Structure 1
Amino acid sequence: MTRGAAARERPVLVYDGDCGFCTSSARFIERHVPVRAAFVPYQHADLDALGVTAERARHEVLWIDRAGRVGGGAEAVGRLLTCAGGPWRALGTVIRVAPVSWAAWAVYRLVAINRHRMPGGTAACALPADRRPGARG
């Protein structure tokens, strides 16, 4: 987790706007999860102001809270759900606590590697092998 540049009015979810699956997932969350956050494709985000690098934004979904703390991948999903409150808070909390967090990371990596095969996925969703979560350089 890193700290973003400045406090903001509401949290921000940064996702890959070129990926159909990622965009569909972000839109689904906007419609069905009562979280007050900005949803921004990294291609249109001021990443410097958010305190994240383009490399990280290409690699994983990011959640930047109001204080500027950054979480990525499964942690970002858990933090988004926690922020939504109600029953979502419980789910978000469970996702972020071991041993469930280990399984959440494994599922996140599996989905990220195969997002071009997921509903709404396109060829643009495929990550090069060296950029896939868990890839070894």
Structure 2
Amino acid sequence: MDLQSIKKDFFVFRNGIVADTLRKAGMPHKVIFGLQIPQIAAIAKDLTPSSELAEALWNDSEVRESRILATYLFPVDETSLEKATWLLGSVRTPEESDMLAFRLLKRLPFASEILKEAEKDPEIPEYAVASLRNHLS
């Protein structure tokens, strides 16, 4: 499935009330479809984890649902320490950091190393470090 097909799925599940609420709460994304996590998880179930697709979704940083769906699709066995640390440093919201820590980072064999690197890096948002710390406890 490609990015356009995935966005059609987002459109099918869109929820204007949730989207407006998230915008008013200060979400930085230009496009918010208003999907809830179970709906994003349902879309993820129909997709095969793939670094290429996950990176395309993650790089679609102006779409909230793309970023969250990406956290379901990064293959654990293809994610390096450097890539994981970069992902953590590139989160834009606490929601993204929670989903990234829960869906990917805590499953990596070097998760505690990511935390150590993140705690030393002033460029990584504190809420992202806290999310990972909480998911590793």
Q: Which has the higher strand share?
A: 1
TM value normalised by structure 2: 0.30
Superposition TM-score, scaled by structure 1 size: 0.30
Q: Which has the higher contact order (CA 8 A, sep 6+)?
A: 1
More helix by share: 2
